[in-house]
Amino acid sequence: MQRKLSRIAAGEFKAKCLQLMDQVNETHVSIIITKHGVPIAKLVPIEEESVRLFGLQKNSVVIKSDIISPIEEDWDADK
């Protein structure tokens, strides 16, 4: 069983970059990349953003006149 990495030196990261990207994608475990023992970057998986339906159409409708007052038209449902 392969150990999950949490920190890796920049030189080793450079040599194993593609393999580490696949690993982060599969395991969803971030990797901190260090240079001389100092953290300088972090490789994190992309999390799919869920689409929020509530408020999706906000500010997409413009009201140009009164929509509250009744209109003086007969409807078929009134007959």
What DSSP string runs through 23-46? HHHHH---EEEEETTEEEEEE-PP
**Chain length of the chain:** 79
Q: How confident is the model at residue 3 (pLDDT cuts 50, 70, 90)?
A: very low
Q: Of 17 and 6, which is predicted with more confidence?
A: 17
For residue 67, count CB atoms less than 10 angstroms from its CB and return exposed for 0-12, middle for 13-18, buried for 19 or more: exposed
Digit-coded pLDDT (tens) for 33-64: 999 999 999 999 998 777 788 888 888 888 88
Q: Specify the CATH architecture of the domain 1-46.
A: 3-Layer(aba) Sandwich (3.40)
Digit-coded pLDDT (tens) for 7-20: 999 999 999 999 99
* CB contact set of 33 (below 8 Å; sequence gap of 6+): 7, 8, 9, 10, 13, 39, 40, 41, 42, 43
Q: What is the pTM of this model?
A: 0.55
